[in-house]
Amino acid sequence: MKRIRLLGTAIAGLLILGGTTAVAATPHVTAAKSTTKKKTKQSTPTTVTTRLACKLTLTLQVASGEVDVTPAATAGAQYGRTTCAAPLGVGIERNTFTSDAGGTLSGRWQQYFNGGTLYGRYSLSPADSGPPTATSFTSVSYAGTIVVTAGTGTDKQATGAGSMKCSSADGVHYACTEHIKLTLPVTAG
């Protein structure tokens, strides 16, 4: 019996020694360098640039102290509706203008939308072709540039530039189109 106990103790000792060796031989998680690439944090853009088109219907306003509209006025104000592509939508435009001796109109404008207001300046040169006729004597057309200089609300810090064309059959009612490359801040959302 003593031999069996001795043999049992020897076998148990070998099993314990073998188990400890097996555990020591298995790989452990270490702080070694990983072979996977670290993900870099993507920066969120702070602005978005979009190209948009706007259609305007503007009417020359009666000057202060006057009782009627003077077609082909050399200075004044116009008001009307503006319809732009998203994200702006439908709004109201107000612009002021002066005309130089060559007929170039220049001035400042504001477009009021539900979420904000855009501000800027423009310069339009006469784009008429040929001398006036009996049916086109009062018609006029212009082409030039428009610049977005500022904004409020959702259009805060807006900037941009583009082209503008206007025409009028009577010098009072104008139809205009704008093509603008507009940069707006990204809103958190």
Summarised one tens digit per residue, pLDDT across range 107-118 is 999 999 999 999
Could you give the number of structural domains in the chain? 1
Helix or strand holding residue 12 (H, E): helix 2-25
Q: Cα–Cα distance between 106 and 57 in angstroms, integer?
A: 18
Domain hosting residue 128, numbered range:
53-144+163-177
CATH number at residue 77: 2.40.128
Q: How many C-beta atoms surround the C-beta of residue 116 within 10 A? A: 18
Q: Is residue 106 part of a domain?
A: yes
Asked if residue 118 is part of any domain, the answer here is: yes
> Is 70 contained in some domain?
yes
If pLDDT is split at 50, 70 and 90, which confidence band does 139 have? confident
Predicted confidence (pLDDT) per residue in 8-27, tens digit: 444 545 444 454 444 444 44
CA distance 142 to 132: 15
Residue 10 covered by a domain: no
Q: Does 37 score more than 80 pLDDT?
A: no
Q: Does a structural domain hold residue 35?
A: no
Residue 101 lies in a domain: yes
What pLDDT score does 86 carry? Answer: 87
